[in-house]
Amino acid sequence: MQVRDDDGVAGQIDPQSREVHVWRVNLGESSDRCAIFDRYLSVDERARRERFRSELIGRRWAEARGALRVVLGSYASVAPSRIVFDTGQFGKPVLRESNVALSFNITHTGNIALIAVAGTNRMVGIDAELIRSDVEWSNLSRRFFAPAEAEEIHSAPPEQHVAAFFACWTRKEALVKAMGVGLSMLLDTFQVSMLPNRPAEVIAVAGDPLARTRWKLVDLSEADFAAALAVNIPDPIMRRFSFEDVLQEGLKRVGA
């Protein structure tokens, strides 16, 4: 896998290429930006924002959704407000119509959102979680993960327990999101790597003997959160972009 931070063109992707673009968005940067993004949201999206129990979480969700519209609009060369989403069978968002064939996925945790964009016929998923030292990693791993994964976490040095748990969780969620199967796929029916001395990879998926070669996992974790990307490209070229660096240029290009 190749990772490139300093080349490639933001907002442009060859639909048939091995590229996956990952956008990092800082949420809560300014109230002005939140107000602008709010105008891009659909009626249904505004209603969903109001249903969050926490105003802060609702505001961050809405800002992440607005950023997603800006990013996708820059690829499709349309205004963010004109983006129309459909949902797959298990709730994964897809573009209804576009002059550019795109696959995409989004995650947000705390004040960070990550957006993954790939070309046509690609399956991509991304997940991130704030690392919390008080998480009940032992019970949760025994309850939700494959037995071999739970055993590997419990056998790790104590200082690695929490990080291994969150690495495992985000890698599994990213793969489930890439497959677009939602909660219909139990987390204990497949296995991923999660320890620091091993690369991120799919080890096994029940009923799919080729899963290990079909899917690529990429660790995107930072100091305070775990994150992972899953994509059905054996040798992807991942390009990273900062949303803030290209925001104004992108909005000008789509006439927002």
Q: What is the pLDDT of residues 53-85, one digit of tens each?
A: 888 899 999 999 999 999 998 888 889 999 998
Angle between helices 147-155 and 137-144 (to 10 degrees): 160
Percent of the chain past pLDDT 90, that is, above it, reads: 60
Is the pLDDT confidence value at 102 over 90?
Answer: no
Would you call 133 exposed, middle or buried from its count of C-beta atoms within 10 A (0-12, 13-18, 19+)? exposed
Q: How confident is the model at residue 36 (pLDDT cuts 50, 70, 90)?
A: confident
Mean pLDDT of 108-113: 95
Mean pLDDT of 136-149: 97
3-class state of residue 240 by DSSP = strand
Total residue count of the chain as it appears in this document? 256
Structure tokens, 164: 């291994």
Global pTM?
0.91
The one-letter amino acid at 24: R
Would you call 39 exposed, middle or buried from its count of C-beta atoms within 10 A (0-12, 13-18, 19+)? exposed
Contact 122, 74 (CB under 8 A): no
Task: Give the residues across from 148 on adjacent strands.
Answer: none
Q: Average per-residue pLDDT in the chain?
A: 88
Q: How confident is the model at residue 37 (pLDDT cuts 50, 70, 90)?
A: confident
Provide the pLDDT for residue 2.
Answer: 52
For the stretch 206-231, pLDDT in tens is 999 999 999 999 999 999 999 999 99
Provide the pLDDT for residue 6.
Answer: 44
